[in-house]
Amino acid sequence: MSLRSVLRLIQVARPAPDDDCIGLGIFGYAGSNKAFVAECNNDLNIARFTEFVDFDKFAIESDIPPDIRALRFNIGDPIPIPYWVNGKLNFVRGDTRTSLDMPKEADDGVMSSVVGLLKDARAGRLKQRSAQWQSDYLRGANPDIFGRSPRDTRYWVARFSVVARELDWKDEQSSTLKNELQELSYIWLNRHLDNTSYTRLCIFLGVGGSPHIFGERRRRDIMYAFLVHVITTGRFSSVEKHVQDLEIRKMFPKGLMAAKVSHWSDLKLPKRDHQSIADSFVSYVRTAAEVDKWGTVERLAYLLYANRDMPRELQQPVLNYIENTAFDLQNRHPHGASYEIEHRRKQFNLTMRNNFDSVLSIYPNVDEVKSIIGILDGKQRMITMKYDSQEDVLIFERTFKNYLHDIFSRNRSD
């Protein structure tokens, strides 16, 4: 435990020097000139110590009774409450449950305030007031959140996330504001989930932080619905750079195709089956084949299957492309296009032979070939895309040769 959490009461701050009143305890520890005040929770227990610097705004008294000065105060202890009656300093602990004796000649305003404070803490009224104050503050400070229709802007979702983060979700007294936030969240999702961006959705869901409105399962299912939608509507490029984000890996450790999602009656999440995802994948393969750009499909394969091999029915369109290009090259260059192959060998500093050379020679660069293997093979997909080491190169070459061997062997047997 740090020094700041185990302190002694060394002084008291008196707001009204000449009147009876309730004061403020000032704490410190040996060997330091710093002073601290204790912040308490709704049960009048110490929640934290913060540094005190406003000495010029109070009358400071150091005549602390010896029995009080000898005490140590930790976080979680009842807070000592100083008060003056007839000019005399008194203390009461924050956990006191019995009524205080009230001298006849005392200023019953101070005593009534102290007794009322203790009774309110014991009855939970301080907690109720605190929750109401917090709700009123959040509502007043965020007029663009409450009373207006949710908007799909970075500003709106950021402000919504701040309100959700500041609200005490464990406090039952905040139920009205909680219900309003939950209703706003459902309206936003049902209106904007299909068109929002990945970044705005993460801010809205509180991804990477405390769950706020949505529990872990619900956040995962909402993210699943969003990702499936962008895939099946041809907008995968908008999330392509995020597929390796830590939160996506946590939500879908085995990929989207292995995720088990739930049905939520209060959320109109789009229903997508695996067949629609598979059909979309084939469409992305066709596009990649037209332009010889396979990195996007490899990243899509990672999002769908993580480090698992693609199923055979989804591998087949890619294998067909490899087969068609390989035999097309053989037909156009019956001698193996030796000049082009030699040029590629020198360009990539790789030792490659036979049919592997033939297929490699038709690609703009070797990275596209690596991406094709990454699409088909789960282990290869997890290898760094840099391929800096010779071992990575050999794995890549060996894997692709195996695929080519299967293709050419099958063709000869046909």
Cα-Cα end-to-end distance for the chain: 77
d(CA 185, CA 202): 13
Q: Percent of the chain, pLDDT > 90?
A: 17
- What stretches in the chain show pLDDT beneath 70? 1-5, 98-108, 124, 126-134, 168-175, 207-212, 263-273, 325-367, 380, 382-414
Query: pLDDT tens, 64-97?
Result: 988 888 899 999 899 999 998 888 898 988 887 7
The domain limits of the chain are 3-123, 129-272, 307-413
Residues 234/277, Cβ–Cβ less than 8 Å: no
Q: What is the mean pLDDT of the chain?
A: 76
pLDDT digits (tens, 9 = 90+) for 256-283: 998 887 766 666 666 656 788 888 999 9
pLDDT, tens only, 167-195: 765 555 556 777 888 888 888 988 898 89
What pLDDT does 389 receive?
47
How far apart are alpha carbons 407 and 414 in whole angstroms?
11
pLDDT value of residue 17: 83
What pLDDT shows up at residue 310?
Answer: 84
Contact 196, 233 (CB under 8 A): no
